[in-house]
């Protein structure tokens, strides 16, 4: 991770941490611990992850002789020795696997609020019938008995300098390595003397998962006026090292009046050297990582647009040359006022030092050649989660661990440091188009569901705001547990990581949209378009099409209103490099497997979903403009109604 180039006074954290203005209980833990280990480099953490001393491992790519395995185990009262994870030395990095399938992906109910500040989330008192104080003290007391790894880092972009600490048992070194790859780390001897916990601190204590929380994932968030503390009781890094740090940034944004968007961002450069920056938002599984991924091709080079699940018919496209991609963000992007002052397009900067890439869709060699090459022959060892591994072998990203015989884990992950990603772009970037992704189910006469979203819809800003408030998690979400039916992931699709109130985040998002009128909005489905199985191809084709259009706006003749007002406008036709996209992939009501009746049923489901999810926002603290927009939706507004609420140039003049 990049560091500021200015000269700063530094201290050696291992020796001089007492000179920092740390909370009293943090000082108590660090003072009482038998030993503190503060990494100077990434390899220190990888060695500790294997139970080894710093510098003990030959990390040369292809080292077949080192077949090290390490069990991350703890003694737990009444349970005895409990293995939380197994870390295996692979030729291309570390393979981390969890014995319990429930620990292999994020539990959406993991977050609990352990303070008394305003919140719409379940509190510790509500869920467990007592305040968090006793469990918090037991957590701190347990950590005092452990050899500890301490990782100083900045939450979000380095230049914003929001200081944070990780404090975890040395036996869980892989977790510290995962956090350092995801969020960056400050070497122990280079911590600035003015380092402060303006973001927060994470405490990791796995044994209490068994003694206090019925072996479930629980992450307790305790806020104060200056920072947040996160108490994580499981070692899957999703809800803590990943989304926990996201929570820190959201809390800072609430205090300072900005937000961190749940998105990927990419610069798509056409064969004619024109670049369009697309910021793709959506709930987990909504296609954020895929927006920065190269388009998948068939063996003969064609693109499989989709396969009809009723007739078996396939539609393909010949695309001689796809856009070159300059990835910018994968999951979290700070829209800080420092980047947006005086701008009319939204400006964002990647909030992460590494990307938590899900590869459940890669089931065989050759699916994603660029990603496969990066992982098989990495410049430095990677951390893999939920992958099958033979000691001494290489992790192959299409070989996923099984949750049960014949049932692959749906959430295999790789943590890829940003500096290993080809074409990566750093620093604030201006966003041309904000897209929103939604997972849709197969929809036809035998399955009349809500998969009525065509390949590309153009939204006015008011509708774009509503989609971010409801943020549908959608069909067959692979990233988290328990995803039956259409559910909402909430404001901005990041509500699962917020500790405060929905209405505050809704107001921040509305302000962000209103203040950046030169950034346009679209809606893109994945998985299914009506009866057609498309995976993420709709997203990739939309990216190619929009990049080739550049900054050109649509004329009124090029768009038609969707029969479902919530879906905005639909292009009459889409042409990519001379090839027409089949109309059935744009206008779902025209599909013979469904027709208008099935479309109308899907539209009814969307209207009911929106009204149900928007009702809780109608509080006295909602921005007056936001109230008007939600009331319009409740009254089945037309496109013209939405446009009048936030006037915006959708069409050419």
pLDDT, tens digit (0-9, with 9 covering 90-100), for 205-235? 999 999 999 999 999 999 998 899 999 999 9
> pLDDT (tens digit, 9 = 90+) per residue, 442-465?
999 999 999 999 999 999 999 999
Q: Which residue has the higher pLDDT, 101 or 59?
A: 101
Between the two ends of the chain, the Cα-to-Cα distance in Å is: 44
Q: What pLDDT does residue 44 have?
A: 97
* Phi and psi, residue 610, nearest 5°: -60, -45
Residue keyed to tokens 């396969």 = 307
Cβ pair 199, 184 in contact under 8 A: no
Q: Give the residue among 275, 274, 279 at the shortest CA–CA distance from 292.
A: 279
User: With 70 as the cut, is the pLDDT of residue 653 above it?
Assistant: no
What is the full DSSP assignment across 236-291?
-SIIIIIHHHHHHHHHHHHHHT--EEEEEEEEEE-TTS-EEEEEEEESTTSSHHHH
User: With 50 as the cut, is the pLDDT of residue 631 above it?
Assistant: yes
> pLDDT (tens digit, 9 = 90+) per residue, 567-593?
999 999 999 999 999 999 999 999 999
- For the entire predicted model, the pTM comes to 0.93
- Strand 532-535 to strand 520-529: parallel, antiparallel, or no bridges (unpaired)? antiparallel
Over its C-alpha atoms, the chain yields an Rg (Å, rounded) of: 24
User: With 70 as the cut, is the pLDDT of residue 241 above it?
Assistant: yes
Please say whether the dihedral angle defined by the alpha carbons of residues 350, 356, 361 and 362, taken in this order, is positive or negative: positive
Q: What pLDDT does residue 480 have?
A: 55
Q: What pLDDT does residue 1 have?
A: 38
Paired residues of 265 in beta bridges: 279, 329
Q: What pLDDT does residue 347 have?
A: 97
Helix axes 243-256, 502-514, angle to 10 degrees: 70
Distance, in Å, from the CA atom of 346 to the CA atom of 328, rounded to the nearest integer, reads 14
| Averaged pLDDT for residues 97-110 | 94
Domain residue ranges in the chain: 10-41+108-256, 260-346+431-645
Q: What pLDDT does residue 370 have?
A: 87
Return the percent helix, strand and coil in the chain, to nearest 5: 30, 25, 45
Q: Which residue has the higher pLDDT, 11 or 312?
A: 312
Please say whether the dihedral angle defined by the alpha carbons of residues 48, 377, 262 and 566, taken in this order, is positive or negative: negative
**How far is CA 24 from each of CA 38, 162, 204, rounded to the nearest angstrom?**
20, 20, 18
pLDDT band at 474 (very low <50, low <70, confident <90, very high): confident
> pLDDT (tens digit, 9 = 90+) per residue, 373-427?
999 999 999 999 999 999 889 999 999 999 999 999 999 999 999 999 989 998 8
| Contacts within 8 Å (CB) and 24+ apart, 65-71 | 65/392, 66/392, 67/391, 67/392, 68/391, 69/391
Cβ pair 429, 265 in contact under 8 A: yes
> pLDDT (tens digit, 9 = 90+) per residue, 477-493?
665 544 466 788 889 99
| Contacts within 8 Å (CB) and 24+ apart, 558-563 | 559/458, 559/650, 559/651, 561/639, 562/454, 562/457, 563/589, 563/596, 563/599, 563/600, 563/603
pLDDT band at 5 (very low <50, low <70, confident <90, very high): very low
**How far is CA 343 from each of CA 143, 516, 517, 519, 652, rounded to the nearest angstrom?**
47, 7, 10, 11, 22
pLDDT band at 356 (very low <50, low <70, confident <90, very high): very high
**How far is CA 408 from each of CA 184, 243, 323, 484, rounded to the nearest angstrom?**
31, 24, 32, 19
**Total residues found in the chain within this entry:** 653
Same CATH topology for 10-41+108-256 and 260-346+431-645?
A: no
| Averaged pLDDT for residues 618-625 | 97
Q: Give the residue among 123, 105, 347 at the shortest CA–CA distance from 242.
A: 105
Q: What pLDDT does residue 3 have?
A: 40
Q: What pLDDT does residue 2 have?
A: 39
pLDDT band at 652 (very low <50, low <70, confident <90, very high): low
CATH code for the domain defined by 260-346+431-645: 3.90.228.20
Distance, in Å, from the CA atom of 294 to the CA atom of 291, rounded to the nearest integer, reads 8
Q: What pLDDT does residue 648 have?
A: 74
Distance, in Å, from the CA atom of 218 to the CA atom of 110, rounded to the nearest integer, reads 4
Q: What pLDDT does residue 395 have?
A: 96
Architecture of domain 10-41+108-256: 3-Layer(aba) Sandwich (3.40)
Distance, in Å, from the CA atom of 384 to the CA atom of 395, rounded to the nearest integer, reads 8
pLDDT band at 33 (very low <50, low <70, confident <90, very high): very high
| Averaged pLDDT for residues 89-98 | 96
Q: What is the mean pLDDT of the chain?
A: 93
Distance, in Å, from the CA atom of 468 to the CA atom of 493, rounded to the nearest integer, reads 6
Q: What pLDDT does residue 650 have?
A: 65
Kindly tell me the burial class for residue 40, based on how many C-beta atoms sit within 10 Å of its own C-beta (0-12, 13-18, 19 or more): middle
> pLDDT (tens digit, 9 = 90+) per residue, 121-179?
999 999 999 999 999 999 999 999 999 999 999 999 999 999 999 999 999 999 999 99
pLDDT band at 346 (very low <50, low <70, confident <90, very high): very high
Distance, in Å, from the CA atom of 614 to the CA atom of 612, rounded to the nearest integer, reads 6
Residue keyed to tokens 């701190």 = 140
Q: Please give the DSSP secondary-structure letter assigned to residue 494.
A: -
């Amino acid at each position: 991770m990049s560091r500021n180039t200015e000269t700063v006074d530094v201290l050696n954290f291992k020796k001089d941490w007492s000179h920092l203005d740390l909370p009293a209980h943090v000082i108590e833990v660090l003072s009482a611990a038998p030993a503190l280990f503060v990494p100077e480099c990434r390899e220190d953490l990888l060695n500790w992850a294997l139970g080894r001393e710093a510098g003990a491992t030959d990390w040369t790519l292809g080292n077949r002789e080192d077949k090290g395995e390490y069990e991350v185990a703890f003694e737990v009262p009444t349970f005895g020795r409990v293995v939380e994870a197994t870390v295996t030395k692979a030729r291309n990095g570390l393979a981390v696997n969890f014995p319990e399938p429930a620990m292999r992906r994020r539990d959406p109910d993991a977050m609990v609020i352990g303070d008394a500040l305003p919140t719409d989330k379940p509190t510790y008192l509500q869920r467990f019938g007592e305040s968090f104080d006793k469990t918090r003290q037991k957590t701190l007391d347990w950590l005092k008995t452990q050899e500890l790894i301490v990782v100083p880092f900045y939450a979000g972009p380095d230049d914003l300098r929001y200081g944070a600490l990780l404090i975890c048992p040395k036996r869980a070194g892989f977790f510290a390595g995962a956090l350092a790859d995801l969020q960056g780390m400050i070497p122990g001897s280079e911590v600035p003397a003015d380092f402060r916990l303006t973001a927060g601190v994470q405490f990791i204590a796995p044994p209490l998962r068994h003694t206090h929380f019925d072996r479930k994932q629980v992450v307790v968030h305790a806020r104060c006026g200056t920072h947040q503390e996160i108490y994580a009781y499981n070692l899957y890094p999703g809800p803590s090292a990943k989304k926990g740090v996201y929570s820190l940034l959201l809390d800072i944004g609430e205090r300072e009046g900005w937000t961190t968007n749940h998105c990927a961002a990419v610069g798509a450069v056409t064969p004619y050297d024109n670049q369009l920056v697309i910021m793709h938002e959506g709930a987990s599984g909504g296609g954020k990582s895929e927006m920065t991924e190269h388009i998948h091709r068939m063996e003969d080079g064609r693109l499989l647009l989709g396969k009809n699940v009723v007739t078996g018919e396939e539609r393909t496209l010949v695309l001689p040359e796809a856009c070159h991609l300059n990835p910018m963000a994968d999951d979290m992007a700070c829209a800080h006022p420092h980047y947006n002052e005086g701008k009319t397009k939204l400006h964002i900067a990647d909030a992460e030092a590494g990307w938590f890439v899900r590869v459940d869709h890669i089931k065989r060699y050759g699916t994603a050649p660029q990603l496969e090459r990066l992982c098989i022959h990495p410049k430095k060892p990677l951390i893999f989660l939920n992958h099958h591994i033979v000691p001494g072998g290489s992790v192959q990203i299409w070989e996923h661990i099984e949750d049960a015989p014949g049932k692959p884990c749906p959430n295999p992950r790789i943590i890829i440091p940003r500096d290993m990603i080809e074409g990566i772009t750093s620093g604030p970037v201006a966003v041309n188009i904000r897209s929103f992704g939604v997972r849709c189910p197969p929809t036809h006469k035998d399955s009349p569901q809500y998969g009525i979203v065509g390949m590309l819809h153009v939204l006015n800003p008011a509708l774009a705001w509503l989609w971010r408030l409801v943020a549908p998690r959608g069909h067959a979400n692979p990233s988290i547990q328990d995803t039956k039916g259409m559910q909402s992931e909430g404001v901005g699709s990041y509500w699962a990581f917020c500790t405060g109130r929905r209405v505050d985040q809704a107001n921040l998002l509305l302000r962000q949209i209103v203040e950046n009128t030169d950034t346009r909005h679209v809606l893109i489905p994945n998985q299914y378009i009506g009866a057609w199985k498309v995976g993420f191809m709709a997203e990739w084709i939309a990216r190619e099409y929009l990049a080739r259009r550049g900054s050109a706006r649509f004329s009124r003749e090029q768009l038609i209103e969707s029969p479902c007002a919530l879906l905005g406008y639909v292009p009459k036709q889409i042409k990519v490099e001379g090839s027409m996209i089949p109309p059935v992939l744009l206008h779902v009501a025209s599909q013979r497997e469904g027709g208008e009746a099935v479309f109308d049923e899907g539209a009814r489901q969307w209207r009911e979903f929106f009204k149900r999810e928007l009702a809780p926002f109608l509080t006295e603290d909602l921005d007056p403009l936001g109230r008007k927009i939600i009331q319009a939706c409740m009254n089945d507004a037309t496109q013209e109604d939405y446009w009048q609420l936030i006037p915006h140039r959708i069409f050419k003049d």
